[in-house]
Amino acid sequence: MSSIDTIYRNPIVAVIRHSNIETIIPLVRALKEGGIRSVELTAETKGVAGIIEKVMNVFGDDVFIGGGTVLDPETAKEVISAGAEFVVSPTLNVDTIKMTKRYGKLAIPGALTPTEILTAYEHGADMVKVFPANTVGPSYIKSVHGPLPQIPLMVTGGITLDNMKEYLEAGSISVGVGGNLADPRQLNSEEDFKALTKKAKAFADQLR
């Protein structure tokens, strides 16, 4: 399932920080029911490998699970071994790209300048995460996409329901949405998960 086509079909990536083993299943289910199937579980979360493994055991190919905030090849291998289909980094680390590609998974390193973006792509990145996107805005994505149309771009950082479509129209093929979509620390009841499904649907409806 580690195909960039999966991102094209499911371009909204829910970036989940502070996840935990107790609430991750209802959280992912709420996102899925709202129309969001791509989920990035960040590696600074304690026990992230076990969390990824649990999600994969429950949902299998019904969701597209990745490991995020991966800073080194060792962490890349850890999340891949747990079941991650893609590996996202906030920075460019060539060894992390190599490790990810060694296991046939999608490598999505972070970059900001055109030089960094091209360097990441030339070292095997399947897609490049422009981060932090909110410091440059959609017009910057359009300017970068012009001379580098062959490089698939994801934008992360400050993505909201109001600006997501602007980034996609500017040339990004994917958006990573964090706390503006889901914060596990605020999910404490059935009503909270229902509200998350409603919010996910609002984001997914922007793609129509």
Report the CATH number that the domain containing residue 92 is assigned in CATH.
Answer: 3.20.20.70
The residue segments making up the domain with residue 141 are 4-205
**Please, which pLDDT band fits residue 2 given cuts at 50, 70 and 90?**
low
What percentage of residues in the chain have a pLDDT greater than 90? 98
Which sequence positions are flagged as catalytic?
A: 40, 129
Write b or e for each residue in 104-117: b if 16 or more Cβ atoms lie within 10 A of its Cβ, otherwise e. ebbbbbbbbeeebb
Give which of 155, 146, 154, 96 is closest to 124, Cα–Cα. 96
pLDDT on residue 208: 84
Give how many domains the chain has, as a whole number: 1
pLDDT tens-place string over residues 24-60: 999 999 999 999 999 999 999 999 999 999 999 999 9
pLDDT on residue 3: 83
pLDDT at 9 over 80: yes
pTM of the model: 0.96
